[in-house]
Structure 1
Amino acid sequence: MKISFLVRDLCHMGGVVSATQNLAGALAARHEVEIIALRKVRDESYFPLDPRVSVRALTDLRKHSPTSDLDDPLIEVFPKVYPVDPAEKKPVVSRLAELRLLEFLATTDSDVVVSSSPRNTIMLSYAKGDYLRVTQEHSMPSIYAKYYQGRLFKAYHSLDALTALTPEEVESIGKLVPGVRNRLAVMPNCVPAAPVQSTGTSKVIIAAGLLKENKNFAAVVDAFATVVAKRPDWRLRIYGGGTEKANLRKQIETLGLHNTVTLMGPAAPVSPEFSKGSIFVLPSKREAFGNVIVEAMAAGLPVVSTDADHGPRNIITHGEDGLIVPRGDTAAMADAILELVEDDERRMRMGEAAVRNAVRFHEPASCERFEAILHDAAARRALPTTATAQVDPQGSVRIDVGALPAQAHGAEIACRRIGRNPAEERFAIEPDGSALVPWRGGLAEGTWELSVRTAAGHEVPLTADGYGCDVREVLNVPLPRDDRGPAMELLLPHRGEGDRLRIRSVVRDTHVEVDELAVGDDDFELRAVCWGAPLGTGAALEAVNRRQKDQVLTVPVTAGEGGRFSARVGFGLLVGDHEGPEKIWDVWLRPEEGAARIPVGKLATDVLEPIGVFTFPRPVITVSTPPEPTLLTRVNRRVARKLKWKGSSQAAAPAGPVKVEIRPYFTALSQFAFKTVDV
């Protein structure tokens, strides 16, 4: 197959560039592979690239190049789709590069397009080509800049596969964007074998990376001060360049380590330098993976590393090929280094284990791992992604996904409950492409998202269009249910975020359904029906203050036939305790004295969100005597006066009569409530 990798450029010394070039080279043994760079600013990459991999730069920013684009006016224009850092004074990626990338995405004959950066992933989400869309996250999306993070998470939904470097990061992304959990996979960076390996006899400790604050090289310098005090014949070499170089130089001189600690500068490739050492140290505060760990292990160096999330613990086997120490514990780092410095046999043994264990990140293993991800993505793409849902007269839901491919026979509808209490239920898909979610015992209460899942574990989320959910029969479902189960069991299929097919399941042993609300001159008359609990002595309607649960307004109910009842709620009762700017009373039924409360609401309907749909008149009442202020109100007023909050609604008590509007409504949870509001 033909595989194209998208990168910003290959012109800087970064782990993403190295990992992308390494994987491209590994795949080139069996596939046609190219790298598409948005820009080119230097003649060669810092890292070696397999000659079988072709490279195409969409814009050439080299002054001396005969193909330079520097005279094109669009080079100075900011892009319209590609996310731009608000701090940019001039575009790093230009409108010209953006247009050429969009053209490439629309016309390429590639079978797979792989984004190696989050901003390119956003661009890939706009593509219409018929190829697999894959992104590789080389960092932690949870810490990405807010100006593009939201767009990126939305873009994930258009991908066929999404990889992260560690299981922990796969789990993290799955929590951030639950809708893409089915297409997440672990894909560690590809790191080649070392051309030359350490003998383990030189008294040199190696550290390497970008000299920036997060890499925390100051910690390894501090730790080495302890080491060299005990073993003055050992030396520390730090490879890399960056903004912290001057601070490190000052630290080294302050500690008197200028004869034993050397800042070596950048090295590309760095692997041959590793062979000159006997121990490698990684002191990072945060490390999504850590290519240098694998490079050092491949060169035969045992590694001492901080337990930086999440990379090191997924590479190093503590005590076998390296030692992991707590972040921020310089003393523990020094002790771990000394363990290896003072035990030649152990150091040699761990170095040999490091070489063996690094193999799982080399080209052959990485190629097989990535090919398996592409195979799974292709299998998912063959599955149906749209469905229809129809409620039958009893309230069961018939899901129809159409014909399944032969390899997907035996697939199921997977229903996953979203929210704080996740759960999963599965229902068999029949040969005709349909599945039945039964009204009884099918789904517990909650909102469920639906997917197609094969026996091999391939899964795709289901979507529905505006005609995909036939809920006409919901209005005819016989309620209450029979005496053998809950009084209220109702399934309501609907479209959720991103057109995802969802089912809201309501399962209640008892339920109070509002029939109507009559608005009189002095009161409301609520008419409702209670299922699952008989009305007995002392039955009453109770309005509970949402903020102060001990405040309860109680009115008796008048029982009718078949569980029906009515209750009159006086306007004066609701506004008698009103205290601006608003107060909310959630309404419950206590079916008899001493019984548990039952929420009063609107659920026996095809309306998913009654709030704003079922509306009622809002009477306005004049309250002539302001209520006695509560202790909380008096405290708030005192604070307001102290802070001089002019115009605060709590700054002073009203001097005369006030008008209060009473708003009956259904809440977001479909419970009936009254709100009193100053007008």
Structure 2
Amino acid sequence: MKISFLVRDLCHMGGVVSATQNLAGALAARHEVEIVALRKVRDESYFPLDPRVSVRVLTDLRKHSPTSDLDDPLIEVFPKVYPVDPAEKKPVVSRLAELRLLEFLATTDADVVVSSSPRNTIMLSYAEGNYLRVTQEHSMPSIYAKYYQGRLFKAYHSLDALTALTPEEVVSIGNQVPGVRNRLAVMPNCVPAAPVQSKSTNKVIIAAGLLKENKNFAAVIDAFATVVAKRPDWRLRIYGGGTEKANLRKQIETLGLHNTVTLMGPAAPVSPEFSKGSVFVLPSKREAFGNVIVEAMAAGLPVVSTDADHGPRNIITHGEDGLIVPRGDTAAMAEAILELVEDDERRKRMGAAAVRNAVRFHEPASCARFEAILHDAAARRALPTTATAQVDGMGAVHIDVGTLPPEGHGAEIVCRRTGRNPAEERFAIDPDGSAVVPWRGGLPEGTWELSVRAQDGNEVPLTVDGYGCDVRDLLNVPLPRQAGAPALELLLPHRGEMDRLRIRSVVRETHAEIDALDVDNESAEVAASVWGVAPGPGAVLEAVHRKDKERVLSFPVTAGEDGRITAVVDCATLVREHEGPEQIWDVWLRPAAGAERVQVGKLATDVLAPIGVFTFPRPVIRILPEPSRTLLAKVGRRVTRTLNGGKPAPRPVTKVEIRPYYTALSQLAFKTVDVAP
């Protein structure tokens, strides 16, 4: 198998570059592997790269290089598709790099293309090749910049597999982009074994990473001030470079720690430096994974780490190979460090456990884990992804996904309810690719998204085109349903976001279906059919205030034949109750005195969103306020008449518009709105 990894470049010291090179090297033992870099600005990477991995550079930005692209005018041009940071003064990734990347994606002979950065993932979504498309999220998409986050979430739908570093992040991405839950998998970073390991005898505490505010090295310096006060023979070394270096230096000097705390600068490789220490500390405020944790463990160091989301708790086994302390608790960090500093045997025992437990992140385990993800992605490729849906004369929905391949036999249609009350229902698929969602007891009320799930657990979402949902017979479904069943059971298949096949299910024991609504300046006459309950004495139509449920307006109901009713909503009553700028009244039927309310609306229809389809007149009512008869008001009117040349001042006029409409839940409502004079 040929696997291509997409990176921006290999020319900076970061965890993503390290993890990508490590995984590429691990896979190179059994596959043909290349790394495709959009740009190159220095001769060598900071991290070692397996010689079996080839590197393809799309733009060379080195002045001394014979293949330099600096004389190409497109180097100074911003890309058109690749997301650009609004703060960029000149392109980091140029139009030239973008064009060459698109050409690579269109012509590569790779079996798998893996994006290791969100912006490259967006580019990968435009590719037309027949290879597997995979993205590895090395951070937290929820915190990505807004200028590309939305495009990224849309791009996810074009991929065959997505990986995240921790189970928590898999859940987070699934909540943000529910349509890709079926293709998400946990893939921790690959971190190699350490060539040398600590003897746990040096009185040195190690911390390492980019010196930036989020890494919170100020906290470990504060904690060490407590440690060194009790154990003055211990030292702290901080490896790394970054924007916080000057602030950290000032903090060290202010605390008088310049003889015991050393800013060592960047080190590559860093494992030999770790072997010189006996304890490792990670003080981060946020840590999606934490390569340095595994590197330190592999070097035989027990780790003291903050409980930063979400990496450390997925790497460290508290009390066995390290200690996890709350974020922001410097005292707890100092106490944990002292536990290890003052107990030589425990420190050595936890260091040995760290070496054993780090194995699950080394090359063999990472390679097997990633190969399993690719296997599942290929298996999903064999499953059908498009479908048609047809409603029969009784309201059942017949799904057709086409003839299943042999490996797909035994697959099921999985229906998942969207929204706040998730649920799942499954229906068998025949070998010919057909399945039936029955109208009775098939799907509880809600909106459901449909997928195909194979026996091995692999799953793909189903999509439809504009002709994929045949609902002609839905208009002839006999309603209400027969006695002994909910009065209203109706399934409406439709095309949802990203062309996903969805079914809206409506299940009501009782319901009042609007037949007609006639509106004028005096009243709104409601005609409806009542199902599942017979209107009786004391039946009224109730308008319930949307925000204040205790405010209820009642209007008499006239019962006719076959459960039909009429009621007149008085416009003047709505206006009298109006309090600007607007308020909403939801309409219910109380079929008899003391009976439970029944929702009044428009549900027996093939119209998915009646709010924008069924429209009604909007009368505007003028209100002249009653003149006040107090003595002060009379004096005020006389003064106004005098100032107005003997003419009385015009009385203010209030205008209120009444807007009948169907809500998002297809319930009848009246909105009253102030109208500008």
C-alpha separation in 2, matches of 1:94 and 1:581? 51
Q: Does structure 1 residue 397 correspond to structure 2 residue 397?
A: yes
Letter in 1 for 2:144: Y
- 1:260: Cα distance to partner? 1.2
Question: Aligned to 2:654, which of 650, 653, 658?
Answer: 658
Q: How does 1:20-419 map to 2 (within 5 A)?
A: 20-419=20-419
Asked if structure 2 preserves the Cα contact closer than 8 Å seen for 1:578 and 1:627, the reply is no
Call closer, same or farther: CA 1:626–1:127 in 2, change over 3 Å.
farther
- Once the two structures are aligned, what percentage of the paired residues are identical? 85
> Aligned in 2, Cα 1:519/1:213: closer, same or farther, shift over 3 Å?
closer
Q: Counterpart in 1 of 2:510?
A: 510
Mean alpha-carbon deviation: is it higher for 182-191 or for 582-591? Answer: 582-591
Partner of 1:621: 621
For 1:677, which of 664, 669, 673 is the aligned residue?
A: 673
- Equivalence for 1:646: none
Secondary structure at the aligned position of 2:413 is classed as strand
Residue 481 of structure 1 is matched in structure 2 by: 481
Distance 1:593 1:25, change over 3 A: same
Deviation at 1:298, TM superposition (A): 0.6
* Amino acid in structure 2 at the alignment position of 1:658: T
**1:641-652 counterparts in 2 under 5 A?**
none
Which residue number corresponds to residue 435 of structure 2?
A: 435
- Going from structure 1 to structure 2, the CA distance change for 1:137 and 1:626 (only over 3 Å counts) comes to farther
Moved more, 534-543 or 582-591: 582-591
User: C-alpha distance in 2, partners of 1:612/1:228?
Assistant: 70
| TM-fit CA distance, 1:331 | 1.2
State the SS of the aligned residue for 1:327: coil
Contact 1:304–1:322 (Cα < 8 Å) also in 2 = yes
TM-score by structure 1 length? Answer: 0.95
Tell me: CA distance 1:621–1:331, structure 2 relative to 1, closer, same or farther (3 Å). Answer: closer
Aligned partner of residue 318 in structure 1, secondary structure: coil
Aligned residue type for 1:345: E
Say which SS state the counterpart of residue 611 (structure 1) adopts: helix
Contact 1:579 1:627 in 2 (8 A): no
1: distance between equivalents of 2:259 and 2:51?
Answer: 42
8 Å CA contact retained: 2:520, 2:617? no
1:519: Cα distance to partner? Answer: 3.4
Alignment partners' CA distance in 1, 2:263 and 2:623 = 79
- Is the contact between residue 626 and residue 657 of structure 1 (CA under 8 Å) also seen in structure 2? no
Q: Aligned with 2:609: secondary structure? A: coil
Residue 464 (structure 1) shift: 0.5
Are the counterparts in 1 of residues 164 and 187 from structure 2 also a CA contact under 8 Å?
yes
Deviates more, 1:365-374 or 1:200-209: 200-209
Structure 2 SS opposite 1:51 = coil
Contact 1:38-1:97 at 8 Å conserved across structures: yes
Q: What's the secondary structure of 1:473's corresponding residue?
A: helix
TM-superposed deviation, 1:513: 0.1
5 Å-filtered alignment, 1:428-467, equals 428-467=428-467
1:239–1:263 CA contact under 8 A, matched in 2: yes
Q: Deviations over 1:63-106 (max 9, x none)?
A: 11111111111111111111111111111111111111111111
* AA at the equivalent of 2:565: F
1:1-26 CA-partner distances (Å, limit 9, x unpaired): 11000000000000000000000000
Q: 2:624 touches 2:651 (CA, 8 Å); kept in 1?
A: no
How far, CA to CA, are the matches of 1:586 and 1:55 in structure 2?
A: 64
CA distance in 1, matches of 2:579, 2:314: 58
1:26 to 1:627, Cα distance in 2 relative to 1, 3 A: farther
For residue 88 of structure 1, give the secondary structure of its aligned residue in structure 2.
Answer: coil
Task: Please say if residues 521 and 621 of structure 2, whose CA atoms lie closer than 8 Å, have aligned partners that are also in contact.
Answer: no
User: Which residue of 2 is the match for residue 14 of structure 1?
Assistant: 14
Alpha-carbon shift at residue 521 of structure 1 (Å): 6.2
Q: In the alignment, is the contact (CA less than 8 A) between 1:474 and 1:606 conserved in 2? A: yes
Equivalent AA in structure 2 for residue 54 of structure 1: S
Query: Greater CA deviation, 562-571 or 26-35?
Result: 562-571
Q: Which amino acid aligns with 1:22?
A: N
Deviation at 1:627, TM superposition (A): 11
Matching residue's letter, 2:598: I
Distance 2:197 2:111 in 1: 38
Distance (Å, rounded) in 1 between the aligned partners of 2:511 and 2:491: 15
Distance 1:412 1:464 in 2: 17
In structure 2, the partner of 1:497 is 497
Q: CA deviation at 1:678?
A: 3.3
Whole-Å separation in 2 of the counterparts to 1:627 and 1:469: 61
Hey, what does 1:650 align to over in structure 2?
none
Which stretch shifts more, 331-340 or 29-38?
331-340
Quote the Cα distance in structure 1 between the aligned partners of 2:448 and 2:39: 45
- Correspondences of 1:511-660 after superposition (within 5 Å): 511-519=511-519, 522-625=522-625, 655-660=651-656
C-alpha distance in 2 between matches for 1:484 and 1:627: 59
Whole-Å separation in 1 of the counterparts to 2:547 and 2:229: 63
Alpha-carbon distance in 1 for matches of 2:87, 2:132:
34
Alignment length (residue pairs): 654
What does the per-residue CA deviation read over 1:623-652, in whole Å, with 9 as the maximum and x for residues that have no partner? 233799xxxxxxxxxxxxxxxxxxxxxxxx
Amino acid at match of 2:655: K
Distance 1:311 1:655, change over 3 A: farther
- Matched residues in 2 for 1:454 and 1:369: separation? 20
Q: 1:561 to 1:9 in 2, by over 3 A?
A: same
Contact 1:115/1:121 (<8 A) preserved: yes
**Once structures 1 and 2 are overlaid, which stretch shifts more, 603-612 or 224-233?**
224-233
Deviations 1:422-444 (A, max 9, x none): 00000000111111111111111
Distance in 2, Cα, partners of 1:262 & 1:306: 21
Q: Cα gap change, 1:520/1:18 in structure 2, threshold over 3 Å: closer, same or farther?
A: closer
Structure 2: how far apart are the matches of 1:155 and 1:430? 32
1:661 Cα deviation after fit: 2.7
Does the Cα contact within 8 Å between 1:577 and 1:627 map onto a contact in 2? Answer: no
CA displacement 1:251-297 (0-9 Å, x = unmatched): 11111111111111100000111111111111111110000010111
Conserved 8 A contact 1:576-1:627 = no
SS of the aligned residue for 2:611 comes to: coil
Shift of 1:218: 1.0
- In the TM superposition, residue 383 of structure 1 has moved relative to its aligned partner by 0.6
Code of the residue aligned with 2:674 in structure 1: it is D
**Secondary structure at the counterpart of residue 562 of structure 1:** helix
Q: Distance in 2 between matches of 1:324 and 1:518?
A: 68
Distance in 2 of aligned mates of 1:377 and 1:396: 32
Normalised to the residue count of structure 2, the TM-score between the two structures is 0.95
How far off its partner does 1:546 sit?
Answer: 1.9
Structure 2 unaligned spans of 5+: 629-649
Mapped to 1, the partners of 2:253 and 2:518 lie a distance apart of 84
Equivalent residue letter for 2:656: V
Per-residue CA deviation, residues 499-520 of structure 1 (Å, 9 max, x unaligned), is: 1000000011110000011235
Deviation at 1:354, TM superposition (A): 0.7
Whole-angstrom distance in 2 between the partners of 1:398 and 1:18: 50
Task: Supply the distance in 2 between the matched residues of 1:255 and 1:574 (Cα, whole angstroms).
Answer: 71
Indicate the RMSD between aligned Cα atoms, in angstroms.
Answer: 1.3
Question: Relative to structure 2, which stretch is displaced further, 46-55 or 212-221?
Answer: 212-221
Task: Give the whole-Å Cα distance in 2 for the aligned partners of 1:583 and 1:266.
Answer: 62
